[in-house]
Amino acid sequence: MEREMIAAVLYGKEDLRLEQIETPRAAAGELVVRVGAALTCGTDLKVYRRGYHAMMLKPPIPFGHEVAGVVAEVGEGVTNFREGDRVVALNSAPCDRCFFCLRGQQNLCEDLLFNNGAYAEYIRIPARIVQKNTLLIPDGVPFEYAALTEPLACVVRGFEETAATPGDSMVVIGAGPIGLMFMHVAQLSGIEVIAVVKRDDQVGAARLFGASHVVQTTAVEDVVVATRGLTGGGRGADSVIEAVATPTSWEWSVDMVRKGGVVNFFGGPPSGTRVEIDTNRMHYGDITLKASFHHTPATCRTAFDLITSGRFHCAEAITDRVGLDKVPELFSRMLTRTGGSREIKTAVFPEGAPR
């Protein structure tokens, strides 16, 4: 491997730079992966906007976390991978020893190990992620498809936690990448999906990813009334997924679910955000409110199977392709994007975007 490589390094708020940095080497138990493709992510965009993430990273640091590629170097003691293997390495791994891990809540691990640096020519994979959360990619599955595993694993866990069953109705508020993934996972599981979206381009995207009905917020007088009107007897949906992360959409969620239903607040608003909820409706309606964060090794494997089996709309989720040299410009553009065209995930290729 080369002594130096090109990487996108985050220095702070809206300060992302392409730099020559030292190429990582694999210590005992580790891998170095030559990046085949990395994907943009809403979390990365939030970190870019804010300049940090308390749990995942502190600048300056190589940026990006959805990645797949080829093993370029194998550290001492690694026996389950070899040079040349095609792999997807997840962005974290739990310790499996702490209070939460021992209670089946690995996503809340007290020592959750995160890894960043996907927007680069090479990325080092820590030993714990090598052991617990690195998967071999079957031949014929493109790197950019395999890199969808991490966000899809978060969605799979959120879906499982919502406990929806075939034949249920589910409202998904939001048609960003996560919202669309929720729609598709639900549709593949036999759920009737009602999408609540804002922009014109999101209407078609929601239908493509499995929504049976679409409510466009700008086209109806009362979003809650319009959405409940699409459910049996107007009673509300069996479950609601909030994937926008605004106080308004959180409040809509509680008003859209039926008595005895489940609301999953998947979108995380900024710290300190407060919402108002009708406590009478919650109590006498026997409504379950919950939230879902991150993924587990098990949901990573479920998501990976959805991708490698060909069941998930991978091709439709990748709506743009760029070279590594375009990453700073790409994030600057994403920050001011106003819509008008269907943009979901952008795949970043260190060797240049394929034609």
* Phi-psi region at 352: left, alpha or beta (left = phi > 0; alpha = psi -120 to 50): left
Cα separation, 60 vs 47, in Å, equals 12
Mean pLDDT of the chain: 94
pLDDT exceeds cutoff 90 at 196: yes
Look at residue 338 in the predicted model and tell me its pLDDT.
55
Above 60 in pLDDT, residue 9?
A: yes
Percent of the chain with pLDDT over 70: 97
Please state the separation of Cα 196 from the chain's center in Å. 19
pLDDT at 335 (0 to 100): 83
pLDDT of residue 341: 56
Residue 164, phi-psi category: left (phi > 0), alpha (psi -120 to 50), beta (remainder): beta
Task: Note the pLDDT of residue 87.
Answer: 98
DSSP-assigned letter for residue 67: E
d(CA 119, CA 19): 11
pTM of the full structure: 0.95
Structure tokens at 83: 């040079």
What is the sign, positive or negative, of the torsion defined by CA atoms of 305, 309, 310, 311?
A: negative
pLDDT in tens, 211-244: 999 999 999 999 999 999 999 999 999 999 999 9
Q: Give the pLDDT confidence score for residue 26 in this predicted structure.
A: 98
CATH architecture of 155-291: 3-Layer(aba) Sandwich (3.40)
Is the pLDDT at 126 greater than 80, yes or no?
A: yes
Q: Where are the domains of the chain?
A: 4-148+312-349, 155-291
What integer pLDDT is reported at residue 18 of this predicted model? 96
Q: Is the pLDDT of residue 1 over 90?
A: no
Mean pLDDT of 13-34: 96
Q: Computed from CA positions of residues 117, 122, 125, 126, in that sequence, does the dihedral angle turn out positive or negative? A: negative
Please check whether the domain covering 4-148+312-349 is classified as CATH 3.90.180.10: yes
Give the model confidence (pLDDT) of 45-61 as tens digits: 888 887 767 667 788 99
Residue 277: per-residue pLDDT: 92
